[in-house]
């Protein structure tokens, strides 16, 4: 299956067969997340793989009783480590070493990032965390399609409850709960806006110039 096919085939799946998911498949999903891009290669994503029925039931409760949480054989709690953003000097060194950034970058880039980090608000960090972790989560989602698994992004949950259930410390934020399993439904494509509604050309609100 190629990427275009996986993108077209993907649906949010809320009904799963009870079959457990082999470890190799879970590893493949996590590997696809590991390879995602991130700003300054921060890699702030952290994942908690939950298979225990009791924990899943508790997560379902924290997610306003959304039943696909309790019924999926696996839940991946997709989190962001806000401390990861402070580790940029190491990441810049690695990027220089790997040839992704030119040698002189460190002298300019590291003080620039350091200044930003000294004044950054938690809200701003959360925006960066959301962008970076979302890419990794969607890697998992699309990889799952290729290996016959279904997923559903879940963001409607009580954050503090999920953190309590999973023993998550303060500097880690939950960005999504991802139920994973073999689909037991085959939903039709959900409605989408036309491309013209979501695209402008050259300037905001400007139509295509022929
Ligand atoms: C950030 C995000 C949060 C979502 N939160 C939930 C959720 O809490 N519960 C749920 O059942 N679906 C949730 N969804 C799934 C959406 O409802 C779904 O993507 C949308 O209706 C389009 O359907 P499709 O994914 O099948 O194309 C979420 C999706 C995204 C991307």
Least reliable range by pLDDT among 25-39, 64-78, 87-101:
87-101
Query: Does some domain include residue 207?
Result: no
Query: Does some domain include residue 179?
Result: yes
Query: Does some domain include residue 193?
Result: yes
Query: Does some domain include residue 23?
Result: yes
pLDDT confidence bin for 22, thresholds 50/70/90: very high
Alpha-carbon distance 1 to 61, whole Å? 36
pTM for this predicted structure: 0.96
Q: Residue 109, class by beta-carbon neighbours within 10 Å (0-12 exposed, 13-18 middle, 19+ buried)?
A: middle
Of all residues in the chain, the percent with pLDDT exceeding 90 is 87
* Structure confidence by residue, pLDDT tens digits, 154-193: 999 999 999 999 999 999 999 999 999 999 999 999 999 9
CATH number of 150's domain? 3.40.109.10
Query: Does some domain include residue 87?
Result: yes
Query: Does some domain include residue 25?
Result: yes
Which of 64, 72, 152 has the most ligand 1 atoms within 8 A of CB, as the residue to mutate?
Answer: 152
Query: Does some domain include residue 208?
Result: no
In the predicted structure, residue 91 carries a pLDDT above the cut 90: yes
- The residue segments making up the domain with residue 49 are 3-198
In this prediction, residues 27-56 reach a mean pLDDT of: 98
In this prediction, residues 53-64 reach a mean pLDDT of: 98
Query: Which atom of ligand 1 has the smallest separation from the CA of 68?
Result: 11
Number of domains in the chain: 1
In the predicted structure, residue 116 carries a pLDDT above the cut 90: no
Query: Does some domain include residue 33?
Result: yes
Residue closest via CA to ligand 1's atom 15 equals 153
Ligand 1 pocket member 12 (CB < 6 A): yes
């Amino acid at each position: 299956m190629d990427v275009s096919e996986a993108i077209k085939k993907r649906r949010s799946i809320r009904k799963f067969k009870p079959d457990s998911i082999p470890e190799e498949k879970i590893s493949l999903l996590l590997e696809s997340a590991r390879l995602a891009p991130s700003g300054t290669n921060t890699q702030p994503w952290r994942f908690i793989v939950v298979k225990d029925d009791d924990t899943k039931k508790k997560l379902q409760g924290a997610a306003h009783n959304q039943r696909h949480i309790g019924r999926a054989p696996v839940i991946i709690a997709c989190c962001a480590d806000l401390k990861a953003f402070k580790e940029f000097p190491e990441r810049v060194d690695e990027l220089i070493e790997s040839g992704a950034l030119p040698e002189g970058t460190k002298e300019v880039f590291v003080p620039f990032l350091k200044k930003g980090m000294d004044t950054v608000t938690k809200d701003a960090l959360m925006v960066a965390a959301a962008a970076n972790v979302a890419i990794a989560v969607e890697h998992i989602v699309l990889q799952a399609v290729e290996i016959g698994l279904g997923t559903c992004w879940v963001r409607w949950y009580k954050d503090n409850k999920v953190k309590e259930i999973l023993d998550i410390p303060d500097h880690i934020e939950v960005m999504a709960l991802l139920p994973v399993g073999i689909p037991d439904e085959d939903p039709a494509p959900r409605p989408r806006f036309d491309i013209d509604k979501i695209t402008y050309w050259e300037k905001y609100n400007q139509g295509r110039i022929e």
